[in-house]
Amino acid sequence: MTEARMQETPEYKPGNFCWIELGTTNAGAAKTFYKELFGWEYLDTSAGPDMTYTMINLNGKEIGGLYQLTGEMLSHGIPPHWLSYISVKNADEATAQATAAGATVMKGPFDVPEAGRMSVIQDPTGAVFAVWQAKGNAGSEVYRDIGSFCWNELGTTDTQKAADFYATLFGWAREEFPGPMEYTIFKNDGQGIAGMYKITPDMGPVPPHWLIYFAVNDCDATVQKATDAGGSVMKPAEDIPGVGRFAILRDPASAVFAVLKPEPQST
């Protein structure tokens, strides 16, 4: 996280996180909640019969999407959630490589008309992510700026198995982050792009997952806004020396995300 750089025209190399997406049980309520938190605006688009896909905009630029979970998705036990997308050159090849490395393909590969091709994949430890082969849509137009996603973090019960899997699939290198808790930085082409920690029994029944962080100007004020708007706090605001102040929150539908006020970076 110390390697965060503000950039408005990001280029997503293969292996970099490139898009974020919320699946929720109440799209209207989610729009209201996140607009209050981050100032987002929305554009609804048709995604087929009786299906709407909403583009999330920040200052006129696309940063992600949201949609309402269907009855079929809910019947399969899919909860409200944020999904992290990772850029790949070829979605079919990446999906086959993931399967060979022990992952489970939940959906795909399939085309998103005019935008790209993708798969939704569950890694060997149980965390879910998507791979994205860009065509018309390269990904979020803003990254690591206030109100946009700025970090992705894997919580897993088997850090060795997970690290080996992502190294095989995306070529990620790993570097230990100094601190009281064991934490690994994933690097893609020399740049820190994500983190990983081990889920321990004292954390309770937390399933393996990818967590999305959003950059904010004031962590504590954002936590207060979230609770005022019907969200809840999973982990109260806390400082990470050399990184910033963060908190983990649940939105009103129970989708989990984090907010981070980055420390100013020395030049």
Residue 159: φ, ψ to 5°: -65, -35
Q: Which two tokens stand for residue 143?
A: 């990254």
pLDDT 10s digits, 171-230 = 999 999 877 778 999 999 999 999 999 998 888 888 999 999 999 999 999 999 999 999
* Cβ pair 55, 34 in contact under 8 A: no
Q: In the prediction, which pLDDT does 144 show?
A: 93
Radius of gyration of the chain (CA): 17
Q: In the prediction, which pLDDT does 136 show?
A: 86
Domains of the chain: 17-134 (3.10.180.10), 149-262 (3.10.180.10)
Q: In the prediction, which pLDDT does 6 show?
A: 43
Mean pLDDT over 83-112 rounds to 97
Find how far residue 93's CA is from the centre of its chain: 22
Q: The whole model's pTM is what?
A: 0.93
pLDDT 10s digits, 51-84 = 899 999 999 999 999 999 999 889 988 999 999 9
The pLDDT-based confidence of 266 (bands split at 50, 70, 90) is low
Mean pLDDT over 129-136 rounds to 95
d(CA 265, CA 238) in angstroms, rounded, equals 18
Q: Which two tokens stand for residue 254?
A: 């129970």
Whether the pLDDT of residue 2 is over 50: the answer is no
* Cβ pair 129, 171 in contact under 8 A: no
